[in-house]
Structure 1
Amino acid sequence: MPMKRRPVLKGIGGTVAGLSLAGCMGYFTGDDTSPLWHEFTDSEERTFESHLETFTEETDHDLEASGVSNMQDQLETALPAGDGPMSFTWAHDWIGAQHEDETLYDASDSIDVDLEGTYSEAAANAVQWKDNVYGLPYAAETVTLMYNKDMVEEPPETIPEMIEIMESYDGDDQYGIGYPGDAYHFSAYLQGFGGVLYDEDADELGIDDDAVVEGLELVRDSIYEYSPNDLNKDPNLSVFQNGNAPFVVTGPWNLGGLRDAGIDVGVAPLPAPEGGEPTPFTGVQMWYFTSRLEDAEDDVHDAVLDWAEWYTTTEDVATTNAQDHAMIPVLDSVVGSDDLGSDVDAFSQSVGMGMSMPASEKMDAVWDPLESAIDVVLGSGGDAREELESAAEQIRGSWE
């Protein structure tokens, strides 16, 4: 399976307050047979519980749901054994690998939704793989810049403008920015000068291209030095949450928790580097259908599919998720609404700059070598070109 982008945030002395990624509806212990699994943050889960309650009231179905930690690990163990959920929520980029693992259920003949007539084109395409429909979409997402309004009057539009602000806060237990150091979060600038980490359509690896080398050098020279000099997510979120940094780069899943922690958070498009444009990976969140639906009782099978259809086509769900959690709607009847708020507008601008995460199983071999190269360059002072070329050689070798 692909890289995990949102692991549980375990920090020194405990979990970052309000930003835990596992929910409270129940944790997987090995015998959990809840049809629905999720890894929502605390604030997202409260909204999800409300939606599930409404669904139960409006239908004859009564579904159980469980918040799980380490979704990838749990699925890799449960689904091949015939256990685990019948539906779970995650971004679309797992679809290719799970197709190869035969852990998904093709609902082409079971759903009543006209994909192309209901959702945005990108969302409708994201839930399909090799002529199979493996789930239904409910939101688009990416990472963008968040800023503390008590520290920043106007968000920067360019990297030089951001550097000027970061320099004024860097030092004395303060930092210029919190920026989790993985390939997903850095993708905006790794691909910011025209490079592409992996071109799925052309089936070409690009991490050793000059443009990507330039992007990694930008991160090293203009961003990372103002961070806690730690690639882990927790310290980078903590410095912003504790009021010790004016900026953080993260996704909508952490917005509610940061505000619950008392930070007056503003959301802005990613600042542009000189001579380039941030190009982050984007994802489509979806309710996946798993192979457990093949042998499910008819009432359970129908309940799970009805849930996915209801959740992804109910305008109130899409609007509430957007207003409360900056989840970008993909439901055509809600897309572009004036009632979604400035947070969604900022995330939408960053999505508009970005490119869809590759869903091919070949991307699985890219994440770890690329992140190892980033670690050496940022953490140990390695040469960007040498490390990316070495990673590319390793990836191409694994493909063969």
Structure 2
Amino acid sequence: MQRRQVIAGIGGAATLSVAGCLGTDDQGTTLWNEFENGEEETLEEHLDAFNEGRDDELGAENIADMEEQLNTAIPAGDGPETFAWAHDWLGRLHDQEFLHDASGSLDLDIGSEFTADAADAVQWEGGTYGVPYAAETVTLMYNPELVEEPPETLSEMVDIMEDHHDPSSNQFGLSYPPIDPYFVSAFLHAFGGRTFHTDSGELGIEDDEFVEGLELLRDNLWEYVPEDPSYESQMTPFNDGTAPFAINGPWQVSGFRDAGIDATLAPLPDIEGGSPTPYTGIQVWYFTSALGDVDEAATEMTMDWAEWYATTEDVITTNANRHGLIPVHQEYADSDDLGEDVETFLETVETGTLMPADPRMDLVFTPLEDALERVFNGDADAAEAMESAATEIRNRWD
């Protein structure tokens, strides 16, 4: 999915720390991440705790455009031993031979330690290629200085957006990346349609239910967002306090709050005749094929890090309380003590559907995004645009 790639355009690559003498390059054993500023700061704290007392330390780099960097670095032998990303890349990375099967190397039992979705999310064709540490999705956020109570229905939300929408004054009803299938999936899937049917492996964007969700999105939300669909432009109105609503995920909460906006979370609004069904993701520490070229100590450190991060109470609760990351460890998944943000995200996750990890999904997004833009700009009928995109996608698959 694209959601962290668009965020990456806001900041450049920056090294958190690189230390130690493990591995095959002069950087030692390294993890990569593409975290937003608040999450990155928390990662630094966790990494300091993990490295305390170690002779050789695990280093970390914050990477802009993770996908492109991995595609370049791993074949060249310059990639990290582990990196953090959502589970939906698993099938493609496996087919590219970018991953390391840790089935016989982990001390914990993935199946018993984590929720069923989380355990499934790191396994592919009999192998285990990472450790899951959190679940996430997008939900509604509102500015309490502009909105007294969050809307319970989409029609109520539209009324509030209408009251605040004045593009001539740079005021908008909503901050929301409208062309990104991950962000808008809640509405595209609202009437039972699916971008991709995981059970059958079939494309779903031509289905009547999917087209109905697209028309809902076009008719109710599109006109209230800024004209520029880029992530940064879409976040600006809510970040500046001029939009009552945003729809985003836990990675953005601290950024809004650091900007002085009391971003308050709420469930996605009810939809007449349907139900918002967003894509949900499992965040994973992936193990890369670089582990095939390092010594035993480097491999052990990498496995230790992933297991420690995913099972340590302080890491789990800090990520939950600061960033709304939903625990997937069995001991914490149903906890009532992790704050209102987690409770709200959990409520939304429970209405969602897990992102497909099928490698063919990589060939879905660009044609779908192009078709969404044509529909939203009034250049194409929803059904015709989806039919055209589906033809292009199937041709790519062939």
Q: Give the shorter-chain TM-score range.
A: over 0.9
For residues 235-254 of structure 1, the C-alpha deviation after alignment (integer angstroms, 9 at most, x for no partner) is: 11001000110001111001
Identify the residue that residue 149 of structure 1 maps to in structure 2.
Answer: 144
Q: How many residues matched?
A: 389
Paired position in structure 1 for 2:382: 384
Q: Could you tell me how far apart the structure 1 residues matched to 2:327 and 2:56 are? A: 25
Deviation of 1:117 after TM superposition, in Å, equals 1.3
Identity %: 51
Matched, 1:180 2:171: no
- The residue that corresponds to 2:228 in the other structure is 230
* 1:87 matched to 2:78: no
**Amino acid corresponding to residue 290 of structure 1 in structure 2:** T
SS in 2 for 1:7: helix
Q: Deviations over 1:32-56 (max 9, x none)?
A: 6651000111111111111111111
Query: Corresponding residue for 1:342?
Result: 340
**Deviations, residues 266-306 of structure 1 (Å, cap 9, x unaligned):** 00111122111011111000100000001211111111110
Select 1:55's aligned residue among 31, 40, 50: 50
1:7 to partner: Cα distance: 2.5
Shift of 1:23: 5.3
**CA distance in structure 1 between the aligned counterparts of 2:350 and 2:54, rounded to whole angstroms:** 36
Relative to 1, partners in 2 of residues 1:75 and 1:364: Cα closer, same or farther, differing over 3 Å? same
Point out where structure 1 has 5 or more consecutive residues left out of the alignment: none
- How far 1:358 sits from its partner (Å)? 0.4
The residue aligned with 2:22 is: none
Query: Is 1:369 aligned with 2:367?
Result: yes
Deviating 4+ runs (over 3 angstroms): 8-11, 20-24, 30-34, 58-61
Gaps of 5+ in 2: 19-24
**One-letter amino acid matched to 2:16:** M
1:214 and 2:209 matched: no
TM-score w.r.t. length of structure 2: 0.94
Paired residues of 2:140 and 2:247 also in contact (CA < 8 A): yes
Q: Given the two structures, how large is their TM-score scaled by the length of structure 1?
A: 0.94
Take 1:26 and 1:166, find their aligned partners in 2: how far apart are those partners? 44
Matches within 5 A, 1:105-254: 105-171=100-166, 172-181=169-178, 182-254=180-252
User: RMSD of aligned C-alpha atoms?
Assistant: 1.8
C-alpha distance in structure 2 between counterparts of 1:21 and 1:355, whole Å: 32
The whole-number CA distance in structure 2 between the counterparts of 1:155 and 1:21 is: 35
Question: Partner of 1:291 in structure 2?
Answer: 289
Q: Which amino acid aligns with 2:103?
A: S
Q: What SS does the corresponding residue of 2:85 show, helix, strand or coil? A: strand
Secondary structure at 1:336 match in 2: coil
Does the 8 A contact of 1:26 with 1:67 survive in 2? no
Aligned residue identity for 2:122: V
CA contact (8 A) 1:229 1:379 kept: no
Give the Cα separation in 2 of the matches to 1:61 and 1:26.
Answer: 13
